[in-house]
Amino acid sequence: MAFFEWQESYLTSIGRLDSHHQKLVTLINNLYTDVLNEPDVSQKQSLIEKALAELIDYSYYHFAAEEELMIKYEYPGYMPHKEEHEQFKVQVAKMMKQHKTGDLSWTLPIFNFLKDWLILHVTNMDKQYVPYLSGKNVGEY
């Protein structure tokens, strides 16, 4: 069983963004599995660094795509949505800084943070733009 199970209730009906969300879930699960299965602490440290970097890069890519769509269709909730993305970036930067100290005690909390944040963000913030954007015929975007 995966750490983070994808659920149909996370779908926004905007194909590209749904694909991004599913990839983020996969990246979180891959990070979790890699860390769990690696017995060597120094290797674990390296795995975390590489996987987190990929996860962060992809998150930023996703945020840019989402924000581009909101700007293009003049979504009125753009600024609070963007601010939530910015808060995520700050939080993850703090976690990365802690990781660089070699402290692995935060490993489980970061998994929980990533999972909880993504679920809350998709089911709360992202679901807010669905009715607005569905009237704009964005389709697969």
Q: Give domain limits for the chain.
A: 20-134
What's residue 106's pLDDT? Answer: 67
Task: Give the percent of the chain with pLDDT over 70.
Answer: 94
State the CB neighbour count (10 A cutoff) for residue 21: 22
Per-residue pLDDT of 105-123, as tens digits, reads: 667 788 889 999 999 999 9
* Residues 43, 70 contacting (CB under 8 angstroms): no
Within 8 A by CB and 6+ apart from 84, the residues are 121, 125
Residue 10 has pLDDT above 90, yes or no: yes
> Which residue is listed with tokens 């993850």?
92
- To the nearest 10°, the Cα dihedral for 112, 115, 117, 123? -140
Task: Enter the pTM of the model.
Answer: 0.88
Higher pLDDT, 7 or 103: 7
| 115-to-54, 111, 132, 134 alpha-carbon distances in Å | 16, 6, 26, 26
Phi, psi of 106 (to 5 degrees): -90, 0
Per-residue pLDDT of 17-28, as tens digits, reads: 999 999 999 999
The CATH number of the domain covering residues in 20-134: 1.20.120.50
Residue 75: band (very low, low, confident or very high) from pLDDT cuts 50, 70, 90: very high
Please report how the helices 41-72 and 78-100 are oriented relative to each other, as an axis angle in degrees rounded to 10.
Answer: 170
Per-residue pLDDT of 48-61, as tens digits, reads: 788 888 888 999 99
* Residues 118, 24 contacting (CB under 8 angstroms): yes
